[in-house]
Copies of this chain bind each other. A is one copy, B any other.
């Protein structure tokens, strides 16, 4: 598959083919091969279109050919709907014909088990050999509304719009199309990716990034094979336009269903979460949230600030919206005095002039209009949500009509929540037709605004993000790893691990080994008290258990005393252990944290950070980031754990050296990037000293990759 992955060509031929063949076209109107042909015709495709099927002379008024090679003209793109067993032959034909791109609709590949997987891999080989770009197999097809091409077998034909959809499930495609048909939402591209033998989400993002017709991208993902490439493309794309992603199989029971469904391996969900957040992808939890966000991003400009203004004719709805703001970490805008004065002059005395603005149950459309226009002018307001309850005095349609004026023209986004049922249907239709996103409950409107604000923040952050390479001694690391490999080991000793850390500028405690008491005293003098003393023995694995570790030795006298006690304890408990001396280490004080790295199958090096001990083990208070990390992301990791106040000086302690800690995380990230053979790394504990005094890794566990078949 690797060579195929390099293919960056023929996206144009796939999405905007000059000519198309439908291989497996049918005269029978309920067959997929008929529906696709008809959909292509009915969508207004302008180029030559050739049905291919040896059984027919003509379908839907078009001349039909026995094989694609029989088509006299050029065929840029082929839609393949033959049974799986004929697909390889058809692909060979396509290759010989010079077809540049193919949509393989046919099912019966990876999703049906081992045999199918083999067939799929041969399909990939043929495509690669001939250089054919392939979408699918096992997919619903592809729509490009601006090329007037609906090459799917869906009932609903999407209307033109600015949303691009990529979905790993054909059924979810159908769900989205049917949903879109019920409201005023249109699409630029609609892509069912199927089994992704060639084209996958990463490549699609690269293409959609520059697609002038696409304003927002929605993705349904069950699993990714090339996670890092996906992330890279997502990161580049989210700086330009929003990506809303629904990743199903989030949880263990969901993941089970996902793998029996498409055979996709679901990565660990926490890693997915970290990956998507870093890539600036807006991750939604369910399909309704996906719909909610697509509507807002598709129709509205991004908010340029933070504050939300709420306008309501019912206090209760205002309270709900305010609750939702708080849930999503949004601030209710504080209005300028001039705004409050203007509201006072325009609204009746019973109105509440502060956020949420209650225009009161008898509000008419003019009152809504005035309130909204007034707060829109306030510099502290970045977006508005207008709420309406069907009170007996309100003319709902008239309010809706007034609000439609804000569609398209308003520089600040506005969403509405007309809450109710029967009376609301007509007015809501008006709003949606005009392009004002309406939500059935206030919290969903607030959620949409929160996502837009978050996306705008991410774009700002992404603009500033730079990864500066830090000075390190790569040769030293290579030397250590070479020696370990030469000895046939995969596990580094603590000393080897620490040498690697030092080479990457991560402090470790000063230490040394002494063979007797006088040497230990001299060493401690050189290192400086307090020190830690540990027994040195090739026969003792768990030193603490046999009294072989003494912490916090403050003076030569204490060292002398501890030395005797320790050795006698060890001798008593393990009389046969060979004792070669003691190690003396600078005693490091500070707050214990853990910094680690593992390589995720999907996303590569994942950096983990958390407070040590119970915080990681019991409270599960850890955070992840995908390397390479920029400074902002490393800082975010440190700040995001619940126990963060422990590092900033809670309970009367001095603040810890956060800056040095962030530096250690960045250096760990760089090490992971520069030495892919390091499979796993854990520094536990890392001691964070007071501000300005640095951070020291007291222990290091490093594992390298074994040779793989």
Q: Which of A208-216, A310-318, A570-578 contacts its partner?
A: A310-318
A425 CB contacts on chain B under 8 angstroms: 182
Which of A172, A175, A350, A444 neighbours the largest number of chain B CB atoms within 10 Å of its CB? A175
- Contact residue among B170, B183, B222, B643 (Cβ-Cβ distance under 8 Å from A421): B183
Chain A interface category by residue count:
35 or more
Beyond the given pairs A260-B354, A614-B643, 5 more chain A to chain B contacts, judged by CB atoms under 8 angstroms and listed by A's residue number, are A171-B391, A178-B424, A248-B323, A250-B327, A614-B646
CB-CB under 8 A for A322 and B257, given A178-B422, A316-B248, A389-B172:
yes
The answer to whether residues A171 and B614 also contact, given A327-B251, A619-B643 and a CB cut-off of 8 A, is no
Q: Give residues 139-181 of A contacting B (CB, 8 Å).
A: 153-156, 167-172, 174-175, 178-181
- Measured in the bound complex, the distance between the Cα atoms of B326 and A547 in whole Å is 45
A: which residues have CB within 8 A of B? 32, 35, 112, 153-156, 167-172, 174-175, 178-183, 220, 222, 248-254, 256-258, 260-262, 285-288, 313-320, 322-327, 332, 350, 352, 354, 356, 358, 361, 389-392, 419-425, 440-444, 613-614, 617-619, 621, 642-643, 645-646, 650-651
Contacts of A220 in B (CB 8 A): 316
**Cα–Cα, bound, A650→B614 (Å):** 9
Judging by beta carbons under 8 Å apart, are A222 and B254 in contact? no
Tell me whether A421 and B254 are in contact in the complex, defined as CB-CB below 8 angstroms, given that A174-B391, A286-B443, A441-B286 are known contacts: no
Do A316 and B169 touch across chains, with their CB atoms under 8 A apart?
yes
Instruction: Specify which of A153, A262, A285 lies most central, judged by the most chain B CB atoms within 10 Å of its CB.
Output: A285
Measured CB to CB, the nearest residue on chain B to A251 is: B326
Q: Which of A249, A356, A361, A420 gathers most chain B CB within 10 Å? A: A420
For A260, the closest partner residue in chain B by CB is B352
Contact A261 B422 (CB under 8 A): no
B171 touches A319 (CB 8 A): no
Minimum distance in angstroms from A39 CB to a CB of chain B = 10
Return A592 CB to nearest CB of chain B, in Å: 13
Q: Are B390 and A261 in contact (CB under 8 A)?
A: no
User: Which of B156, B172, B253, B392 makes the CB contact (< 8 A) with A326?
Assistant: B253
What is the CA–CA distance of A317 and B621 in the complex, to the nearest angstrom? Answer: 31
Question: How close is A550's CB to chain B, nearest CB, in angstroms?
Answer: 18
User: 29 A-B contacts, Cβ less than 8 Å apart?
Assistant: A153-B392, A154-B392, A169-B316, A171-B314, A172-B314, A174-B391, A175-B390, A178-B423, A178-B424, A181-B423, A182-B424, A251-B323, A251-B326, A252-B326, A254-B322, A254-B326, A256-B322, A260-B352, A262-B315, A287-B442, A288-B441, A288-B444, A613-B651, A614-B651, A618-B645, A618-B646, A618-B650, A619-B621, A619-B643
- Top-8 shortest CB links A-B: A182-B421, A171-B314, A261-B315, A178-B420, A169-B316, A251-B326, A254-B323, A181-B422
- A316's contact among B179, B261, B651, by CB below 8 Å, is which? B261
Contact B614 A642 (CB under 8 A): no
Interfacial chain B residues near A261, Cβ < 8 Å: 315-316, 318-319, 352, 358
- Does the CB pair B389–A421 fall under 8 Å? no
Q: A171-B315, A172-B389, A389-B172 are contacts. A332–B154 as well, Cβ < 8 Å?
A: no
> Which residues from B are CB-within-8-Å of A251?
322-323, 326-327
Which residues on B sit within 8 Å (CB–CB) of A443? 285-286, 288
Contact call B617/A651, Cβ cutoff below 8 A: yes
**CA separation between A391 and B354, bound complex, in Å?**
49
The listed residue with most B CB atoms (<10 A of its CB), out of A316, A326, A332, is A316
Specify which of B32, B169, B252, B286 is in contact with A314 (CB 8 Å cutoff).
B169
Task: Check A249/B324 contact, CB under 8 A, given A35-B392, A288-B441.
Answer: no
Q: A354 contacts which chain B residues (CB < 8 A)?
A: 260
A619's closest neighbor in chain B, by CB?
Answer: B642
Chain B residues closer than 8 Å to A182, beta-carbon distance: 420-422, 424-425
Choose among A319, A613, A618 the residue with the greatest number of B CB atoms under 10 Å from its CB.
Answer: A319
- Report the minimal beta-carbon distance from A682 to chain B, rounded to whole angstroms: 17
Q: Is the CB of A319 within 8 A of B424?
A: no
Q: Which residues of B contact A167 (CB under 8 A)?
A: 316
Report the bound CA distance from A352 to B263 in whole Å: 13
